[in-house]
């Protein structure tokens, strides 16, 4: 553990001055926003949060040949909300900065700006309707700038009581993402999710959800790069079951099971660089994962969590450059995680929370490049106002 922390400290100290200026600017903006009153009507509020985190990652690019690296990240969220008796508008901004302690690491900045509308109703069975739109972008440094993207997202959602202890909710979303230097990876993605939640008198919550998504790689370059007749597409169907049980006021248990089907065979033709590739995302894999977490309130008013998961994922056959034929990738993954969270102090009447997470991952793959194991450590401070 001491070697891990020393490696993290050394790598974080080598980050560039530009990254330091970015973090200082985000923190300064958060302090100004959090301490500035809104001089509008009493129904208008300004709130947000700032998160600072850092730590150590054994395999930052999810490859067996990765060098371990320290990391740091900062995130600022600000939202302005205007409410009346039955509806509200919310304008929000989020900015984030991520740095890895690698010589040519994928350091990046992310920005998003969104507007949402909410409508509430119902007395005996309350319901909420909402709709919104967001524009966002991610911008890399050094040799990763080819993966910069800009995207626009729109959604419509609902939440309603179907009975005294039965809730239904769902959303329909449309996203369009554009990679300026990699048009073959640009896509349009409609998706739909529906969920049912049941609350039992035994302090038990049961939920099940279904998600359907479809990606269309519509740029003319896509069919030439991926060697398809017409625009390549891929789809997924995902089913999730979740159970949460309150044991006492100081302890709870939750467990979930996820299964995902890949409905279309995506053309798994690999380039030399597999970073942020369509053949690595959720649409490219099918499989199942089972997870469980125990949460306990320990002395000093701190929350401890311990969890484990096991998953099996099939990525199908991939044709790598220079290979005589396609190679099949299948991963069996085990993770163990423990965390500790505590409120340290109050700033301007709102809590500042500290959190430390230690995780271990063991991934056995049919391809040597993805056969890996290691420990990750992170600490964070979060202030919400």
pLDDT tier for residue 323 given thresholds of 50, 70 and 90: confident
Of the candidates 179, 105, 114, 181, the one whose C-alpha atom is nearest the C-alpha of residue 143 is: 105
pLDDT of residue 268: 63
* Predicted pLDDT of residue 124: 82
Q: What is the pLDDT of residue 273?
A: 53
% of the chain surpassing 90 pLDDT: 62
Q: Give tens-digit pLDDT for 107-122.
A: 999 999 999 999 999 8
264: DSSP letter: S
DSSP 314-344: EEEEEB-TT-SS-EEEEEEEEEEEEEEEEEE
Q: Which of 2-11, 64-73, 204-213, 276-285 has the weakest average pLDDT?
A: 2-11
Range with lowest mean pLDDT among 4-13, 164-173, 276-285: 4-13
Query: What pLDDT band is residue 244 in, cutting at 50, 70 and 90?
Result: very high
Greater confidence (18 vs 182) lies with: 182
Tell me the pLDDT tens digit for each residue of 131-189.
999 999 999 987 889 899 999 999 999 999 999 899 999 999 999 999 999 898 899 99
Residue 261 β-bridge partners? 237
Task: Please report where in the chains the tokens 């053949």 appear, as a residue.
Answer: 279
Q: How confident is the model at residue 270 (pLDDT cuts 50, 70, 90)?
A: low
Say if residue 192's pLDDT is above 90: yes
For residues 271-278, give the mean pLDDT: 64
Other Cβ atoms less than 10 A from the Cβ of 72: the count is 22
Query: In the 8-state DSSP scheme, what is residue 35?
Result: H
Residue whose C-alpha is closest to residue 73's, from 101, 104, 51: 51
All structural domains of the chain with their residue ranges: 2-384
What average pLDDT score do residues 15-26 get?
46
Q: Which of 16-30, 159-173, 203-217, 356-370 has the lowest mean pLDDT?
A: 16-30
| Comparison of pLDDT for 270 and 309, the residue scoring more | 309
Instruction: Give residue 8's pLDDT.
Output: 42
Mean pLDDT, residues 309-322: 85
Domain 2-384 has CATH 2.40.160: yes
Dist. CA 84–CA 42, nearest whole Å: 10
Q: Quick one: tokens of 89?
A: 């508008």
The number of residues in the chain equals 385
Distance CA 100, CA 72 (A): 7
């Amino acid at each position: 553990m001491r070697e891990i922390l020393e490696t993290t400290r050394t790598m974080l100290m080598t980050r560039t001055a530009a990254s330091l200026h970015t973090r200082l600017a985000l923190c300064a903006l958060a302090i100004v926003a959090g301490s500035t009153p809104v001089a509008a009507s009493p129904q208008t509020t300004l709130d947000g949060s700032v998160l600072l985190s850092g730590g150590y990652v054994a395999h930052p690019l999810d490859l067996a040949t990765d060098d371990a690296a320290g990391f740091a990240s900062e995130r600022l969220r600000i939202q302005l909300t205007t409410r009346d008796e039955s509806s509200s508008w919310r304008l929000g901004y989020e900015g984030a900065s991520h740095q890895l302690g690698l010589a040519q690491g994928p350091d990046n900045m992310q920005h998003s700006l969104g507007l949402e509308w909410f409508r509430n109703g119902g007395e005996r069975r309350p319901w909420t309707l909402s709709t919104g739109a967001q524009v966002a972008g991610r911008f890399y440094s050094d040799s990763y700038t080819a993966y910069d993207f800009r995207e626009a997202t729109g959604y419509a959602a609902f939440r309603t009581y179907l009975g005294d202890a039965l809730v239904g909710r769902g959303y329909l979303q449309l996203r369009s993402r554009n990679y300026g230097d990699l048009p073959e990876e640009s896509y349009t993605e409609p998706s739909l999710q529906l969920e049912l939640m049941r609350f039992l008198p035994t302090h038990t919550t049961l939920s099940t959800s279904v998600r359907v998504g479809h990606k269309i790689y519509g740029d003319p370059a896509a069919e030439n790069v991926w060697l398809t007749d017409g625009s390549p597409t891929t789809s997924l169907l995902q089913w999730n079951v979740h159970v949460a049980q309150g044991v006492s006021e100081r302890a709870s248990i939750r467990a979930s099971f996820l299964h995902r089907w890949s409905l279309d065979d995506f053309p798994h033709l690999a380039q030399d660089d597999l970073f942020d590739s369509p053949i690595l995302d959720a649409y490219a894999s099918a499989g199942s994962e089972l997870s469980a977490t125990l949460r306990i309130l320990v002395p000093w008013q701190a929350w401890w969590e311990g969890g484990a998961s096991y998953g099996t994922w099939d990525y199908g056959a991939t044709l790598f450059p220079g290979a005589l034929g396609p190679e099949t990738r299948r991963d069996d993954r085990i993770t163990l995680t423990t965390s500790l969270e505590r409120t340290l102090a109050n700033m301007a009447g709102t809590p500042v929370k500290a959190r430390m997470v230690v995780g271990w991952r063991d991934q056995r793959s049919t391809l040597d490049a993805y056969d890996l194991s290691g420990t990750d450590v992170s600490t964070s401070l979060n202030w919400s106002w």
